[in-house]
C-alpha cells in the first residue's frame, strides 16, 4: 500500500497549460457565448447557414496555401501507432523528408481552405449560391504574445457561386446589424476594388509585381505615408509613379467625388473602368461605405471588391475584412467557383466588449439559489426546485449543509440574484423568504408568487 502510494506520488506533475493556450472559465464563457450567439443570430437573419469542418485536415490540403511563413506555422500531427514505420534511418538527415513520413495530418490553420475543400467535395449536392458561416477554432504555431494565441476562434461568412453585387450590399448591411446589436458604434466600413488598383498600376506602368505592391499599399495605415514612400523607393519604383500613388491615396472627398477623380486618372485602363463600374453598381444598392483607394488587403486571391472595417476609438484596428475572389476551389481542380467572404476578428471583438457595459452585467436575470437552514428540509427544497425549473427559471441548490452566510456568499460569487431560504417558518406557512442579493432586501412569498416575479423580471429585461 505504501509502495503504491509512493509510486503515485512520484508520478505527480505540476498542472500547466501548453504555451499560447487558454482555459475559459464560467465568466469568460458567458461573454464568449453572448458574442458568438449574437453573430449566429445575425448570420441566420441574413440567410447564412452554419457548417463545421474537422479540426484535422490532410497535410496536402493545407500546405501551399499560406505562403512559406504560414506553412511553417501549421501544427502537424504525428502518425498514430508505429510512426516510424515508413521512415529510414537516413531520413533523419533530411528533416523535411522525415516530417512527411511521420506526419500526414495537421490542425486547421484557417476556415477558408477547409471551405474550399468542403465545396469541392460537395459540389454536386450544394444549391448555389451557397451561403455559409463557420465559427471554429484554428491553430497556429505563432510565437505567443499579448493577445496572440496558438488556439483561437475564427468567424467567416461566405457566398459561394455568385457574382452579384447584391452580396456586397448585404454584407455591408450585415456588418452594421451585428455591430449595432453588439453596441459597437465607432467604425469605418472601407471598400475598394482590386481592379481599380490594377488600373492604377497599369496606367503608371508598374503592374509587374502587383501582389507585392498590394502588400506594401496594405501597410500605409500602419506605417504612414512617409514610410510608405520610402518603402516604394527601396523597391525601385520611380519617383513619378510614387508621386501619383500618393496623390491618389491622399485624395479626400465623398464617394461620388472619389469616383470622378479616379475615373479621370485611369480612364485608359479597361480593368480599372470595370472596377469603377462594380463600385457604382454597389452604390445603387447600399451607400454605407467609404471608398478608400489605399485599401489593398494582403491576400493575393482577392480579385474584385475588398473591404475592411476599422474600429475608430481604440487601438484594436481591424474588426473584420474580406473580399471577392474568382476561384476558391482551384487547388482541388473543381470548375471555377467565385465567391465573396468576410472574416470577423471575433477574438478581438470579444476582447473589445469584455470591458464594455453590455458584458458587465454582474448578475444573471432569472436565477435562484435555494438555501436550506436544516438538512431535514432537503426533500422539500428539491420539490420546490423542480417546480420552479418547470417554469424555465434556473435554480441552483447548495449541495452541502453550509451556514446561511456561506450560502449567501456562494450566491454572490456565482452572480445569482435571488436566494430562496427554506426554514421551519417557511415550511409551516408555505411562504418563503426571497432575498434580493443586489438590494439586500427580503420578502416572504408563495412559490407561485416567486415564479410570477421571476417571469416578470425576464419579460421586462
298, 215 in Cβ contact below 8 A?
yes
Distance CA 139, CA 125 (A): 29
Question: For residues 158 and 229, which CB has a smaller minimum distance to a copy of itself in the complex?
Answer: 158
211 binds a copy of itself (CB under 8 A): no
Residue from 86, 92, 429, 443 touching a copy of itself (CB under 8 A): that is 92
**Considering the rule CB under 8 A, would residue 455 count as an interface residue with a copy of itself?**
no
**132 touches a copy of itself (CB under 8 A):** yes
Nearest to residue 63, comparing CAs of 105, 13, 126, 1? 105
Residue of 4, 7, 11, 355 that binds a copy of itself (CB under 8 A): 11
Q: Which stretch binds a copy of itself (CB under 8 A): 99-107, 217-225, 233-241, 355-363?
A: 99-107
Q: Which residues does 119 contact at the CB level (< 8 Å), separation at least 6?
A: 126, 130, 160, 328, 329, 334, 337
Q: Kindly state whether residue 95 participates in binding a copy of itself, applying the rule CB under 8 A.
A: yes
Among 112, 120, 201, 343, binds a copy of itself (CB under 8 A): 120
Rounded to whole angstroms, the maximal C-alpha distance in the chain is 93
Cα 313–chain centre separation: 20
Q: Is 271 in the site for a copy of itself (CB under 8 A)?
A: no
Which residue do the cell numbers 510614387 mark? 242
Contacts of 128 (CB under 8 A, 6+ apart): 160, 161, 162
Out of 67, 83, 86, 148, the only residue in the binding site for a copy of itself (CB under 8 A) is 83
State the minimum distance, in angstroms, from the CB of residue 51 to a copy of itself: 6
**432: how many CB neighbours lie within 10 A of its CB?**
21
Which segment (136-144, 213-221, 311-319, 429-437) binds a copy of itself by CB under 8 A? 136-144
Q: Whose Cβ is closer to a copy of itself: residue 107's or residue 214's?
A: 107
Rounded CA separation 195/198 (Å):
5
Q: Which of 394, 433, 442, 455 binds a copy of itself (CB under 8 A)?
A: 394
Shortest Å, Cβ 221 to a copy of itself: 30
In 3D space, the residue among 59, 54, 154, 53 whose CA is nearest the CA of residue 106 turns out to be 59
446 scored as a contact of a copy of itself (CB under 8 A): no
Closest distance of CB 115 from a copy of itself, Å: 10
- Residue 384 CB, nearest approach to a copy of itself (Å): 12
- The residue among 138, 166, 171, 174 whose CA lies nearest residue 154 is 138
Examine residue 110 and tell whether it contacts a copy of itself (CB under 8 A).
Answer: no
Indicate which single residue of 97, 101, 144, 177 sits in contact with a copy of itself (rule: CB under 8 A): 177
Task: State which of positions 343-362 bind a copy of itself (CB under 8 A).
Answer: none
x-or-dash pattern for a copy of itself, window 308-337, by CB under 8 A? Answer: ----------------------xxxxx---
Please give the residues from 22 up to 61 whose contact with a copy of itself meets the rule CB under 8 A: 22-26, 29-30, 32-33, 44-47, 49-58, 60-61
- Nearest alpha carbon to residue 324 among 162, 186, 136, 436: 162
Give the x-and-dash track for 404-443 against a copy of itself (CB under 8 A): -----xx--xx-x---------------------------
- 84 contacts a copy of itself (rule: CB under 8 A): yes
Binders of a copy of itself in range 275-304 (CB under 8 A) = 284-286
β-bridge pairing 105-107 and 151-160:
unpaired
Which of 246, 271, 378, 447 binds a copy of itself (CB under 8 A)? It is 378
User: Under the criterion CB under 8 A, does residue 451 sit at the interface with a copy of itself?
Assistant: no
CA–CA separation, 110 vs 287, rounded Å?
Answer: 31
Q: Which residues contact 171 (CB under 8 A, 6 or more apart)?
A: 157, 307, 322, 340, 342
Nearest C-alpha neighbor of 206 from the set 244, 162, 234, 161:
244
Residue 403 touching a copy of itself (CB under 8 A): no
Residues 149-168 that bind a copy of itself (CB under 8 A): 150-151, 159, 162-164, 166-167
How many other C-beta atoms can be found within 10 angstroms of the C-beta atom of residue 127?
A: 7
Q: How far is CA 193 from CA 274, 279, 302, in A?
A: 9, 7, 9
Report, in Å, the least distance between residue 149 CB and a copy of itself. Answer: 9
Rg for the chain, CA atoms, rounded: 29
Amino acid at each position: 500500500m505504501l509502495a503504491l502510494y509512493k509510486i503515485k506520488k512520484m508520478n505527480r506533475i505540476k498542472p500547466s497549460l501548453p504555451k499560447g493556450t487558454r482555459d475559459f472559465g464560467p465568466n469568460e464563457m458567458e461573454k464568449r457565448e453572448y458574442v458568438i450567439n449574437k453573430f449566429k443570430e445575425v448570420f441566420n437573419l441574413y440567410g447564412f447557414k452554419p457548417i463545421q469542418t474537422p479540426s484535422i485536415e490532410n497535410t496536402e490540403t493545407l500546405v501551399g496555401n499560406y505562403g512559406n511563413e504560414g506553412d511553417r506555422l501549421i501544427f502537424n500531427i504525428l502518425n498514430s501507432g508505429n510512426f516510424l514505420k515508413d521512415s529510414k534511418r537516413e531520413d533523419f538527415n533530411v528533416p523535411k523528408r522525415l516530417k512527411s513520413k511521420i506526419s500526414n495530418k495537421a490542425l486547421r490553420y484557417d476556415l477558408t481552405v477547409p471551405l474550399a475543400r468542403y465545396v469541392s467535395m460537395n459540389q454536386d449536392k450544394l444549391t448555389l449560391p451557397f451561403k455559409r458561416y463557420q465559427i471554429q477554432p484554428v491553430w497556429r504555431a505563432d510565437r505567443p504574445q499579448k493577445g496572440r494565441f496558438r488556439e483561437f476562434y475564427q468567424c467567416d461568412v461566405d457566398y459561394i457561386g455568385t457574382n452579384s453585387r447584391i452580396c456586397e450590399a448585404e454584407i455591408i448591411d450585415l456588418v452594421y446589424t451585428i455591430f449595432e446589436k453588439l453596441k459597437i458604434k465607432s467604425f469605418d466600413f472601407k471598400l475598394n476594388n482590386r481592379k481599380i488598383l490594377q488600373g492604377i498600376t497599369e496606367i503608371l506602368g508598374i503592374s509587374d509585381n502587383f501582389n507585392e505592391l498590394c502588400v506594401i499599399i496594405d501597410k500605409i495605415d500602419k506605417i504612414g505615408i512617409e514610410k510608405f514612400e520610402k518603402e516604394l523607393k527601396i523597391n525601385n519604383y520611380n519617383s513619378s509613379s510614387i508621386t501619383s500613388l500618393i496623390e491618389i491615396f491622399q485624395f479626400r472627398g465623398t464617394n461620388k467625388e472619389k469616383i470622378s477623380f479616379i475615373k479621370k486618372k485611369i480612364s485608359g485602363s479597361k480593368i480599372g473602368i470595370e472596377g469603377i463600374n462594380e463600385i457604382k453598381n454597389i452604390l445603387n444598392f447600399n451607400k454605407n461605405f467609404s471608398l478608400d483607394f489605399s485599401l489593398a488587403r494582403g491576400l493575393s486571391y482577392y480579385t474584385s471588391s475588398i473591404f475592411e472595417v476599422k474600429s475608430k476609438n481604440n487601438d484594436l484596428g481591424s474588426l473584420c475584412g474580406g473580399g471577392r475572389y474568382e476561384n476558391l476551389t482551384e487547388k482541388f481542380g473543381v470548375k471555377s467557383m467565385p465567391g465573396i467572404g468576410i472574416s470577423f476578428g471575433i477574438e478581438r471583438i470579444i476582447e473589445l466588449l469584455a470591458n464594455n457595459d453590455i458584458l458587465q452585467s454582474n448578475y444573471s436575470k432569472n436565477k435562484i439559489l435555494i438555501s436550506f437552514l436544516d438538512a431535514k428540509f432537503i426533500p422539500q427544497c428539491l420539490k420546490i426546485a423542480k417546480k420552479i425549473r418547470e417554469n424555465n427559471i434556473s435554480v441552483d441548490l447548495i449541495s452541502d449543509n453550509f451556514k446561511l452566510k456561506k450560502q449567501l456568499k456562494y450566491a454572490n460569487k456565482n452572480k445569482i440574484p435571488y436566494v430562496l431560504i427554506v426554514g421551519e417558518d417557511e415550511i409551516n406557512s408555505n411562504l418563503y423568504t426571497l432575498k434580493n442579493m443586489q438590494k439586500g432586501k427580503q420578502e416572504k412569498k408563495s412559490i407561485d408568487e416567486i415564479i410570477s416575479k421571476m417571469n416578470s423580471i425576464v419579460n421586462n429585461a
